[in-house]
Amino acid sequence: MPDSVPSPFPPVIAVLLAGGTGHRAGFGRPKQLELLGDKPVLQWSLDAFAAHPAISGGVLVANADVMAALDGLPNGWKTAEPGIERQQSVDHALQSLSDWSDETLVLVHDAARPGLTAATIDRLLAALSSAEAVIPTLPVPDTLVRQDAGEAGDTVDRGALARVQTPQGFRLGTLRRAHAAAAATGAPATDDAQLVRQMGVPVQTVPGDARLHKLTYAEDMTILAGLLGQDRMMRTAVGMGYDVHRLVPDKPLWIGGVEIQHSHGLEGHSDADVALHALTDAILGALADGDIGDHFPPSDPQWRGAASHRFLAFAADRVAARGGRIEHVDLTIIAEAPKIGPHRPAMRARLSEILAIPLDRVSVKATTTERLGFTGRREGIAAQAVATLKLPEN
Least gap, CB of 274 to Mg ion (angstroms) = 6
In 35-46, which positions are buried (b, 16+ CB within 10 angstroms) versus exposed (e)?
Answer: bbbeebbbbbbb
Residue 243 is a binding residue for Mg ion (CB under 5 A): yes
Residue number of the CB atom closest to Mg ion:
277
Closer residue to Mg ion, CB minimum distance, 112 or 266 = 266
Closer residue to Mg ion, CB minimum distance, 34 or 243 = 243
Is residue 82 a contact partner of residue 89, using CB atoms and an 8 Å limit?
A: yes
CA distances from 300 to 144, 291, 293 (A): 60, 15, 10
Give me the 270-309 binding string for Mg ion, x by CB under 5 A, dash otherwise: -------x--------------------------------
Q: CA-based angle 185:189:195, to the nearest 5?
A: 70
In the range 321-360, which residues lie near Mg ion by CB under 5 A? none
Least gap, CB of 273 to Mg ion (angstroms) = 8
Least gap, CB of 378 to Mg ion (angstroms) = 18
Closer residue to Mg ion, CB minimum distance, 191 or 243 = 243
Give the three-class secondary structure for 145.
strand
Least gap, CB of 269 to Mg ion (angstroms) = 8
In the range 32-71, which residues lie near Mg ion by CB under 5 A? none
Distance CA 44, CA 41 (A): 6
Closer residue to Mg ion, CB minimum distance, 132 or 243 = 243
Closer residue to Mg ion, CB minimum distance, 87 or 332 = 332
Q: Which H helix or E strand runs over 169?
A: strand 168-171
For residue 169, list its beta bridge partners.
Answer: 107, 134
Contact segment (CB under 5 A) with Mg ion among 61-69, 84-92, 269-277, 377-385 equals: 269-277
Least gap, CB of 270 to Mg ion (angstroms) = 7
Contacts with Mg ion by CB under 5 A: the residue count is 2
Return the beta strands (E) in 318-394 as ranges.
325-334, 362-367, 380-392
H helix intervals, the chain? 41-51, 64-68, 86-96, 118-128, 172-185, 192-198, 219-227, 274-286, 292-295, 309-321, 344-355, 373-376
Closer residue to Mg ion, CB minimum distance, 97 or 292 = 292
Q: Which H helix or E strand runs over 40?
A: strand 39-40
In the range 75-94, which residues lie near Mg ion by CB under 5 A? none
In the range 165-224, which residues lie near Mg ion by CB under 5 A? none
Closer residue to Mg ion, CB minimum distance, 122 or 267 = 267
The contact set with Mg ion (CB under 5 A) reads 243, 277
